[in-house]
Structure 1
Amino acid sequence: MAELTKKGVAGFLARQGILVAFVVFMIVFAIANPRFIDIDNIFGVIRSSAILGVMALGVTFVVIGGNLDLSVGSMMSFSTIVVLDLHDKIGPTLGIPVMFAMTMALGAFIGFLVGYLKLNSLIVTLGMLSAIHGLTLTYSGGKNMDIADKEGTWFGIFGQGSIAGVPVPIIMFALLAIVLSIILSRTPFGRKVYAVGGNGIAATFSGIPRARIVFMTYLMSSFCVATAGLIQASRSLGSQNTVGQGMELEVLAAVILGGASLLGGAGTIFKTVIGVLILGFIQNGLLLMGLAFYAQYVVTWIIIILAVWLDIAAKRGRLWSPIA
């Protein structure tokens, strides 16, 4: 009985190591500062993490499919600037769908290059990072963007509104996570994404349209980026044209922290959400502890490495590699 119990605990840790690490971090920060578990603080952290989280949901599909997307930061800047500009030119009712179409066109182009032309995703998306940044600066004329009439628009609901006391960005993040989790775990498309990322050649010989699946993952990623851009633009009704610069690394860190493999074929939406929350709550906890902002970067890095190490150790049943 004791042996079965031990195996059961080990099995749980192997499956949910990152979740256990998240709970441990929450307990430590709560002990260090009781304000950490205040409901307003928790809502504030999740709300501020929603933009990063929404982007990470889409990138999860790309990574599980065996590829990378380093263009999401500059693409988010593009979508934010475009929707703010179109708000004043044609109104938010038309501006929002047009922005989604333009952003997803960029995602489709990347998906075509990686999926159908079979170009290296790292090189393609790294190049698109610079190209889309240049496109954003060209579109905006190098200027930041602001809505002219901030008082007379309903556009702010996406970033500033709340429903039953719950901020709208949190609701959008949660709903999108639920829908995408169902798509990834309970649909034929989701199973094909895992198959393509796990072994692309075997998937092709099994009759799975590998190029189309890769194309669709980038299309889904760009949809999520457009959603994040909508929230960002709505939050302050204005934006710098570099608002998303550098976010691609944070997004990738959240996805990998959540357990997705850079080699493809492994990962879940739920654990990506946990990865996003770990990043958000670590930064918030360190802030409440009064740590200098420059020291927070180092401590955050150490905690991320520790969390990933504990997760991997739980899966292999030992702290150190057997070949070390």
Structure 2
Amino acid sequence: MANFTRKDVGALLARQGILIAFVVFMVGFALINQRFVAPDNILGVIRSSAILGVIALGVTFVVIGGNLDLSVGSMMSFSTIVVLDLHDRLGPVLGIPAMYAMTLALGAFNGFLIGYLRLNSLIVTLGMLSAIYGLTLTYSGGKNMDIADKEGTWFSVFGQGDILGIPSPIVIFAGLAIILALLLAKTPFGRKVYAVGGNGVAATFSGIPRARIVFFTYLISSFCVATAGLIQASRSLGSQNTVGQGMELEVLAAVILGGASLLGGSGTVFKTVIGVLILGFIQNGLLLAGLQFYVQYVVTWVIIILAVWLDIAAKRGRLWSPIA
């Protein structure tokens, strides 16, 4: 009986441990600083998490499809710099679509190399991380970018505006999450993404075009990155050319926290949203607790290790390796 109880507890912690830890964090931060649960603070955390969340929505498709995308941080820097530059050169009406087209081209290149040429996604996107940063620096001449006429443009509506009292970044994040959740859960394409990520060989023998599915997951990821770049550029009307540096790890942490498996074949958009919010509230709680911002990097690393451990434990049904 005691052995059954330990196994049962282990299985529970493997599947729900991160949610239990989140509740403990929330209660602990609320006791340390009551402002943590204030409505304006909660709304502010969701708003500040929207950019990360939008990127994570696209990466969810990639991870469920059995791959990784480590190029999203550098790609967001590129899209942010490009849309700011094209805003002044072409105007926002033409500049925004042009930025989307350029960012989608980068995503298509990732998808071609990984989907059709069957190259390793970790190696390809890690290489693209550096390549796109070089492209961004080349495009900007190594300089940061600012909109010339910040007072006379409607471009700020995406990052600074609101819709019915709700900040625009939250509305964009929520709207995109709903659309992509329906795409993943209710369409044949979504079922094929799960099939390819769960067992690519079996999916191919079942007549599923694996290469095409992988290709489109990277297109979806790049579209989300472009949207995040649009929000970032609109929020500040200016940007450093390294604004997305390091975001790939935070995005991956949020996706895995939400329950998507690094092995592919499992995860949902809704749970990714929860993972993004968990990460956002933990970071906010650390700041309100008086810890310096750089502590967040250590906490993010711990969260990634914990999330991967729990993911593997959930697959084998126990927290510890049977060999140990």
**TM-score normalised by L of structure 1:** 0.91
Aligned to 2:182: 182
Aligned counterpart, 2:78: 78
CA drift of 1:291 comes to 1.6
Query: Which amino acid in 1 is paired with 2:120?
Result: N
Consecutive unaligned residues in structure 1, runs of 5 or more: 1-7
Given that 2:17 and 2:310 are in contact with CA atoms closer than 8 Å, whether structure 1 keeps it comes out as yes
Q: Distance in 2 between matches of 1:153 and 1:235?
A: 12
Alignment of 1:1-324 (within 5 A): 17-302=17-302, 305-306=305-306, 319-324=319-324
Contact 1:116 1:211 in 2 (8 A): yes
Deviation, structure 1 residue 45 = 0.8
Q: Tell me the matched-pair count.
A: 318
Distance 1:21 1:193 in 2: 30
How far is 1:22 from its partner? 2.9
Residues 179, 10 of structure 1: alpha-carbon distance in 2 compared, 3 angstrom cutoff: farther
Provide the C-alpha distance between the structure 1 equivalents of 2:322 and 2:129, rounded to a whole number of angstroms. Answer: 39
Q: Tell me, what secondary structure is at the counterpart of 2:202?
A: helix
Per-residue displacement from partner, 1:83-106 (whole Å, max 9, x unpaired)?
A: 001111111011111110110011
**Aligned equivalents of 2:102, 2:299: Cα separation in 1:** 39
Structure 2 portions without partners, runs of 5+:
1-7
TM-score normalized by the length of structure 2: 0.91
Match of 2:3 in 1: none
- Please identify, of 8-17 and 204-213, the stretch whose mean Cα deviation from structure 2 is larger: 8-17
> CA separation in 1, counterparts of 2:317 and 2:109?
43
- 1:300 Cα deviation after fit: 4.7
How far apart are residue 269 of structure 1 and its match?
A: 0.9
How far residue 257 of structure 1 moved from its aligned partner, in angstroms, is: 1.6
Q: Considering only aligned residues, what root-mean-square deviation do their CA atoms show, in Å?
A: 2.3
1:28 alignment partner, SS class:
helix
Note the C-alpha offset of 1:301: 3.9
Q: CA separation in 2, counterparts of 1:299 and 1:220? A: 29
Distance 1:313 1:190, change over 3 A: same
Shift in Å, 1:167: 0.8
Letter paired with 1:240: Q
Partners of 1:304 and 1:123 lie apart in 2 by 20
1:5 alignment partner in structure 2: none
* 3-state SS of paired residue (1:293): coil
**Structure 2 CA distance for partners of 1:33 and 1:303, relative to 1, 3 Å:** farther
- Cα distance in 2 between the residues matched to 1:151 and 1:143: 22
Q: How far did 1:18 drift? A: 3.9
- Asked if the contact 1:198–1:264 (Cα under 8 Å) also holds between the matched residues in 2, the reply is yes
Per-residue CA deviations over 1:39-76 (Å, capped at 9, x if unaligned) read 11111111111111100110110011011111111110
Distance across 1 between alignment mates of 2:22 and 2:311:
11
* Matched residue SS, 2:216: helix
Shift of 1:296: 4.0
**Cα distance per residue 1:256-311 (max 9 Å; x no partner):** 12111111111111111111111111111011011233444334544555566567
The residue identity in structure 2 corresponding to 1:242 is T
Instruction: Check 1:214–1:259 CA distance in 2 against 1; reply closer, same or farther (3 A cut).
Output: same
Q: Structure 1, residues 196-251: CA drift from partner, whole Å, max 9, x if none?
A: 01100000000000000000000000000000000000010000111111111111
Instruction: Give % identity.
Output: 85
Which residue identity does 2:167 align to in structure 1?
Answer: P
